[in-house]
Each structure stands twice: as C-alpha cells, then as structure tokens.
Structure 1
Amino acid sequence: MRRRFGITAVALGLTALSVMPATAEPVGGMHAEPLPSEFLWGVSGSGFQSEGYAPDSNWSRYADAGKTKDTVGTSVDFLHRYREDIERARELGTQVFRMSVEWARVEPTPGHQDPAAWAFYDNVVAAILAAGMRPMITLDHWVYPGWAFDRGGWRRDEMSAEWLANARRVVDRYAGVDPLWITINEPSAYAFQEMQVGGLGPADLSAAMDRWVRVHREIYDYIHAAQPTAQVSSNVAYFPVAESLVDTTFLDRVVDKLDFIGLDYYYSMSPTDLSYANVFSEPWNATVAPDGLYYALRHYAEKYPGRPLYVVENGIPTENGPGRPDGYDRADHLADSVYWVQRAIQDGMNVIGYNYWSLTDNYEWGSYTPRFGLYSVDVKNDPNLTRVPTRAVDAYRTVIAQGGVPARYTPVHPSTLCSLVDALASCARPVG
C-alpha cells in the first residue's frame, strides 16, 4: 500500500481541474451481473508493514533519523501470528493471499542468508497452500536491507545486481508452488516515497527508474524460465488525472513483460472535490469514490486491449478506528467497489481478480494512524494486538460467496459528477 503520493501528480491533477467544466451527469444504478466462477478473490499485505520486529532496513534508518511518526515495533506481529491471519483469510473464502518476502530479513548482512528467516517464509507459503489459497508474492515492497542503504540504495547501479541475486533466490525457492508474482510494488509511488524520506534525491529519480525497469525485465524472464505458466506483474499506483503521464516512466517500458496489469486504486478527483490533497496528511479525509475504479480499469482496458486486469489493492482509510468523517463505512465501500468491478466486466473489461487492502490494520509507512484493515488492530494501545472484525469482514465473506453484489445493488456512494480519475476521458464518457 502507498500512503503518500507525488506532488507532481497532484499538481497535474489540479491543473486539469482548473480547465475542465463539470458537465457530466451522475450515474444511476444498473444491473450488476455475477462475476465468473474463475474470478480470483484475495487479500493484500506486505511483510514489512505487518510482520513486526523488523530487521535493519532503509525504513529502520528513516525511523532512526526521525522521519517517521511511529516506529514499526511489533506491528500486528504477523511474524508469529501468520497462521491465525491466514486462517482468517481462508474463512472469508479468498483464493489469493498477497505477501512479500523481505530482502532485509533473509539477507541481514551482505552474502549472509538467515535460515530462520527463510524458514518463516517457507511456513507462511505452506500455510497459504494448506488453506487452499494461492500466494501472490511481492519481491520488493519498498524495503531493502540497511547494508544496501549504507551503500547508497537505488542511487547505485550495483544495487540492480544485488537486488536480482536476492530475487532469483526467492523465485528458485517458491516457483514450484505456482504463485502469482509482483516484482516491484508501485514503482512510481516507490520513487516519490524514497524522495520524501531521503532514499533518493530528485537527481537520482530517472536513473533509479531505469534500474527498476531493468530488474523487472530480467526477473520476469527468470520467473518464466522457472515457472513457464507464471502470471507476473508490477502493480500500478493509480494517480487520478495524471496516470497517462506517470505510465510513461515505468509501465509503458515493461508492458511487454507483464502477464496482467496490476492496479492499485484508492482515491478520486473531480472539479468539485479537491480533497485529494489530504492524501498527504489526512488520507481519511480524501474522497474514495469507488466509481473511479471503473474508470481506472477502463483506462488500461483501452490502452492495452486484451491484457488481463487485476485489482491488486483497493481499500478505504480511517483514522485510528472504524469511522470516517464522511460517514462512509468500510463494508459499504467494499460492496460499492465490487459493484464497479462487476460493471467493468459486464462492459467487456477482462478483470480477473480483486484483492482487498488489507486483511488487518498495519504500519502505513511511518504511522499507525491510518487504518485499512478488514480486522482492526490497535497496535499502539492494545498489547494483545487483538484482531477486531469490522462490518467489512461479513460483507466480504458474503460478496465472495455470492460471486459479487446482487444484480439490483445500488451503490451507497453516489457516482462522481464529472470524475477526472482518467482525466478528461472519465468526465466526457461517464459510465452509463
């Protein structure tokens, strides 16, 4: 999950707002056809954000330098509670469990592999399989070892070879269980995040992106050599309005080595709603209009015709608990989002899966204040780290069991008047 976004993307969005008239009409409710039986339901998470007891990494260094509000500490202790959390996912009926294998944990010092860390990930993968689910393994979810940070991180060209050596070990170990793969989580947001906390400077950005393009292309081929029928992607952090421009930095350069387009969608934008700026400081005050998910999917369906689409992350933030200032409930948001996925498929888009972010609350890149979990966990105040189910747990279980929302479902959140999620296209061509 990415919590902070690039200032450049927001600036582009506000420019578009200033020139686009609000002329489109709101969208009414329509039939939502059931999803196909082969549709994949999942939950998403990342190791660093949920495992706790984090080893030395770039993010440990950022916390030590006072660049984060909270330190990771125990997080939700997935390190020791992974079996019960995987069981919670199984009880939902999900078929996919997204995880990451943390480079900083398995290679704490250069050239030294930690057998206990590898055993932990072996056990996590085995538990996912035993629960009847398929792992979706992320190779890089924004975290790398402290020793790599000391050497300069992604400022150095040598980082590519070091990264690839670790990624190949992960592939060699787990390709045999037929996972789905995410190579690099949200490269565009990765770059902006590293710039904000000091891992990269503005002058380093272009070269770092070149390195991510290179390692993605190389590990894609390596995965397919080990797992010929593999499904590999690098999920996109969808920036409303600006995505067409952002795509040019990474996605357009690797699309020939993507088996599906992985999409992460959270926030909306329109001429009458400037709340997107709150994503920087108060994401629970940023609008999460789920009809924008339809436009984001349509953006890629039209840009890359025939390419499968997978919603790798989708969710809604609250502040230190279940409620939002706008009163929009997580269960309603989840059902509304699924409705728009159904509408997208009904309109011919090849959407093959949906993951909810996230199974439990976790560490949101410097803070425990934003909450995204189906299960709430008060990390800072509850030493037992109790998993408290939100209403969205039953909602997701029901949605999965029914293959989506009912045909006559009417979204709780009204459609956006002149959505600008896909810039002018979403406003000029609102879904009917």
Structure 2
Amino acid sequence: MITRVLTAFGLIACLLSIPTAATAAPGVPPLPDSFLWGVASSGFQSEGAGPDSNWKRYAATKEPYGNGVDFRNRYPEDIALAAGMGLKVFRFGIEWARVQPTPGSWNETELAYYEDVVRRIRAAGMRPMITLDHWVYPGWVADRGGWSGAGVVSDWLTYARHVIHRLHGQGAYWITFNEPTAYVQQEVTNGGVNPLLIPLMFDRLVTAHRSVYDVIHQLDPGAPVSSNVAFIPAAEGLVDLAFWNRIADKLDYIGIDYYYGLSLDNWSAIHAAKGEFWKVDPQPDGIYHALRYYHDRRPGLPLYIVENGMSTDNGAPRADGHTRSEHLRDHVYWMQRARADGMNVIGYNYWSITDNYEWGSYRPRFGLYTVNAATDPALTRTPTDAVDTYRTIAASGGVPSSYTPVKRQSVCSLVTLLTSCLFPPRAP
C-alpha cells in the first residue's frame, strides 16, 4: 500500500511540475575542454566489399548490400570530415572476417589497412575508439556453429589478441562487444543461434570480454576498455542480468548507446522494434536518466555516450519536422545537465559519421553526412544541417547556457522506471 501511495504521489508530482516547451529552461555550464566529442561507425555497415561472414550471408536475404558506403577505400575522406568538425574521437570497427579469412591465416593487407586507419585518425588530431566485435564473424566461424560452436571463445580471443598486438600504443579507447543484448537478438532473429542457446551465447560473450579485458591491459597498458550497452527503456535492469552485471568489474568506463525514451506521454519507441526508426518521437531528456542510472550503479566509473543519433526515412524531412540539429542540441543540453548534476560524463559519439547499411536496409538514415548508397554509384557524402551544428557544439563545449530544448521534458520518463518520476532533474 505504501508503495502504491508513493507511486501515485510521484506521478501526480511529476504531472504538476513538468515543464512545457514554452517554459524557460535552466542554464547549464559548458562541458570541459577535456570532453571527448566524437563520431561512430562500424565495419560491415560501412566498409563494403565484405568477405564471407555471418552478415554477408544474412544480407543475401535482405536489401542488397552492394558496396556499403565504401569506407574501406574512402576512410581518409571520412576521417577528414570528422576532423573538419573539430572532433576528438573517431570510432570504427575491426572486421574479424577481413583479418583472419581462414582459421590459420592472417591477411596482412587488411591488417595494414586498419593500421593506416589508426594512423590517419591520430594524424588528424583525434583518438581512435576501436570496436573488436560489431556483430560480425567470419564464414568459417559460422560453419562451426557461430557463438554456439565449441571453440568460438578460443578462436575469438586468438583474433582479438592479434589485433590488439598490432594496434596497441595508439591512445585508443577499446570496445570489446557492441551492444551484446542486441548482438544476441540479431543472431537469434537471423538464425545464427538457436533461441534455446541464448544463455550459452551470453555466457561466452561474458567469458570473452572478461578475458580480453586482461589481454588489453597487458598489451596496451592504460588503454580504457568497455562494452557499450544498448539502453532499453524500463527494462535495463532485467537486461543487465545477462551481461553487464557479470562484467561490471571489468570496465574502465561505462559505454552507453541511447536512442529512444519511454514515458507516460511518449510510447513511440514501439516503432523501433518494427525497424521504423524514423517514426520514433525523440525523448532527449531520457539520456539524462540513462546516465543517472549507470552513475548510480557504478559512481566511480566515467560515463561515455558511445552512440546517439536520429533516423530519417531515406533522407527525407521527418513528418514531425524535427531536424537533426535540434535533436543533437537537445541531447547535448541534457548531457550538460547530467554533468552539472555530478555525473562524470566524459564523451559523446554521434551515430554516425555517414549513412550506412542498417542491418538489412539503407532506408534508415542516421548520418551527419547522408549517402544514397542504393542509388548513387559515386557514394557522395552530402552534409546535413547537423554538420555545422556539431562543429559549433564541439568548439563551444556544448549548447549555450541560455539554450531552451525544442522537445519538452517528458511526463514521467520510464527510462529508469519510477526514479525519474519521483526525482526528476531540477535546475542546476
């Protein structure tokens, strides 16, 4: 009964106190000069000309993959575009299938390519953020059963150790597995793992992360290591039981991917489950609650938004009129609020530097630079409105203290269940 009373009181308080779009937003201080502004990409989604892999096989039944956006050959251009915005971090992924085409061989051309990616990132004044596994593994691993195969952890660690040995000492931030929960979901959906073996795949991802965390610290001392979580509103505590809770002592920073919120006045995240990302009504204040959720769980660890972005439908203006610039400014504002409230947010990556293959379709467009991969053979990088906006944000340490978010604060965000209802953020 007491719980019900508190819940009702919290909901009423939230409804009465929530600001509207016209309410003056409280000022926020800028983020420090040390803050890491960055962009993100991944291997298979961007590189093109992919070798045999689980996702090369999955893509055969989806929208044609073609040549991706050809990051494999255009990486100098994309790195220069990021540097031109004054950014400090460039995230990219290593494709296991490229560097180890067969169990006993290493492709020196592809290893040299990744070495040059790192070299160019550093020469442009940025730090590399290197993802070891962004949901893709070689065809020969798939033939052995993928993550349900008997020797997959050993095979994966052999690959990871080889890559770390080649790329250590470059000031990198490391990501072991991209969004492990979504990784498992994709494998089940595409037939890579039997649903009955979901616990086994999680067990093996946990073992691999814990092992490679130690390997990175041996081969690349001082390099920060994480595994970025896909923040799932109202369910994160349950989802964390399978992976995050089991590797929390083997993290140097907490990597968070935040895209969608959930609140009493916004249930549109259901569209994301159907792949219609452009129909989701953005909820920028949810990023504050996501940061607070993990800050409260591990107060001593820095927080890094590894991915955040907004989809359009094939590059067309959104039906709600919301622009990429507005989306970016609003989320940065709430990060500044989080930092002002004592959360140690150290970095932010925009997903993504260019449009890419969104796991079966080119229709969702998340890029700062749009690319018509399905219709433009030249794969021209065309800047969106958010390019100049991001350049200004990075130079200024965020949005001005007088900034008022375009999207109003949600009515009782359910990102962290009742916490955000009972204890909504207040003016700093």
Q: TM-score with structure 2 length normalisation? A: 0.94
Equivalent residue number for residue 243 of structure 1: 236
Query: How far off its partner does 1:322 sit?
Result: 4.2
How far apart in 1 are the matches of 2:28 and 2:163?
A: 40
Query: How far off its partner does 1:246 sit?
Result: 0.7
Instruction: State whether residues 213 and 225 of structure 2, in contact with CA within 8 Å, keep that contact through their aligned partners in structure 1.
Output: yes
How far apart in 2 are the matches of 1:157 and 1:36?
A: 47
Moved more, 199-208 or 273-282: 273-282
Instruction: State whether residues 269 and 287 of structure 1, in contact with CA within 8 Å, keep that contact through their aligned partners in structure 2.
Output: no
Aligned-partner residue type, residue 231 of structure 1: P
Equivalent residue number for residue 139 of structure 1: 132
Question: SS where residue 331 of structure 1 aligns?
Answer: helix
Instruction: State whether residues 45 and 356 of structure 2, in contact with CA within 8 Å, keep that contact through their aligned partners in structure 1.
Output: yes
User: 408, 419, 426: which is aligned to 1:414?
Assistant: 408
The aligned runs of 1:27-426 (5 Å cut-off) are 27=19, 28=23, 29-64=25-60, 66=61, 68=62, 70-279=63-272, 280-426=274-420
Across the two proteins, how many residue pairs are aligned to each other? 411
Query: Which consecutive aligned stretches of 4+ in structure 1 deviate over 3 angstroms post-superposition?
Result: 20-23
Superposed CA offset, 1:265-312 (max 9, x none): 000111232211110231110122111000000001111112110000
How far apart in 1 are the matches of 2:304 and 2:64?
A: 32
How far apart in 2 are the matches of 1:323 and 1:159?
A: 44
Instruction: State whether residues 155 and 207 of structure 1, in contact with CA within 8 Å, keep that contact through their aligned partners in structure 2.
Output: yes
Aligned-partner residue type, residue 247 of structure 1: D
Instruction: State whether residues 157 and 208 of structure 2, in contact with CA within 8 Å, keep that contact through their aligned partners in structure 1.
Output: yes
Query: How far off its partner does 1:23 sit?
Result: 5.4
Instruction: State whether residues 315 and 358 of structure 1, in contact with CA within 8 Å, keep that contact through their aligned partners in structure 2.
Output: yes
Question: SS where residue 255 of structure 2 aligns?
Answer: strand
How far apart in 2 are the matches of 1:22 and 1:215?
A: 46
Equivalent residue number for residue 26 of structure 1: 18
Aligned-partner residue type, residue 418 of structure 2: L
Question: SS where residue 275 of structure 1 aligns?
Answer: coil
How far apart in 2 are the matches of 1:49 and 1:112?
A: 24
Q: TM-score with structure 1 length normalisation? A: 0.93
Instruction: State whether residues 177 and 228 of structure 2, in contact with CA within 8 Å, keep that contact through their aligned partners in structure 1.
Output: yes
Instruction: State whether residues 216 and 254 of structure 1, in contact with CA within 8 Å, keep that contact through their aligned partners in structure 2.
Output: yes
Question: SS where residue 116 of structure 1 aligns?
Answer: helix
Query: How far off its partner does 1:108 sit?
Result: 1.4
Question: SS where residue 169 of structure 2 aligns?
Answer: helix
CA distance 1:191–1:23, change in 2 (3 Å): farther
Instruction: State whether residues 43 and 93 of structure 2, in contact with CA within 8 Å, keep that contact through their aligned partners in structure 1.
Output: yes
Superposed CA offset, 1:200-241 (max 9, x none): 121111011000100101000010011221100000100000
Aligned-partner residue type, residue 380 of structure 2: T
Moved more, 224-233 or 289-298: 224-233
Query: How far off its partner does 1:38 sit?
Result: 0.8
How far apart in 1 are the matches of 2:11 and 2:58?
A: 42
Instruction: State whether residues 11 and 422 of structure 2, in contact with CA within 8 Å, keep that contact through their aligned partners in structure 1.
Output: no
How far apart in 2 are the matches of 1:80 and 1:61?
A: 22
Query: How far off its partner does 1:178 sit?
Result: 2.1
Moved more, 124-133 or 322-331: 322-331
Superposed CA offset, 1:301-341 (max 9, x none): 11111211000000001110141122110011001111011
Instruction: State whether residues 266 and 410 of structure 2, in contact with CA within 8 Å, keep that contact through their aligned partners in structure 1.
Output: no
Instruction: State whether residues 42 and 353 of structure 1, in contact with CA within 8 Å, keep that contact through their aligned partners in structure 2.
Output: yes
Moved more, 30-39 or 368-377: 30-39
Query: How far off its partner does 1:123 sit?
Result: 1.3
Aligned-partner residue type, residue 384 of structure 1: A
Question: SS where residue 269 of structure 2 aligns?
Answer: helix
Moved more, 272-281 or 243-252: 272-281
Equivalent residue number for residue 4 of structure 1: none
Unaligned runs of 5+ in 2: 1-9
CA distance 1:297–1:155, change in 2 (3 Å): same
Equivalent residue number for residue 3 of structure 2: none
Aligned-partner residue type, residue 281 of structure 1: G
Query: How far off its partner does 1:413 sit?
Result: 1.1
CA distance 1:22–1:201, change in 2 (3 Å): farther
Output the aligned Cα RMSD.
Answer: 1.4
Superposed CA offset, 1:51-75 (max 9, x none): 11111100111123x2x2x132111
Equivalent residue number for residue 11 of structure 1: none
CA distance 1:223–1:242, change in 2 (3 Å): same
Moved more, 414-423 or 90-99: 414-423
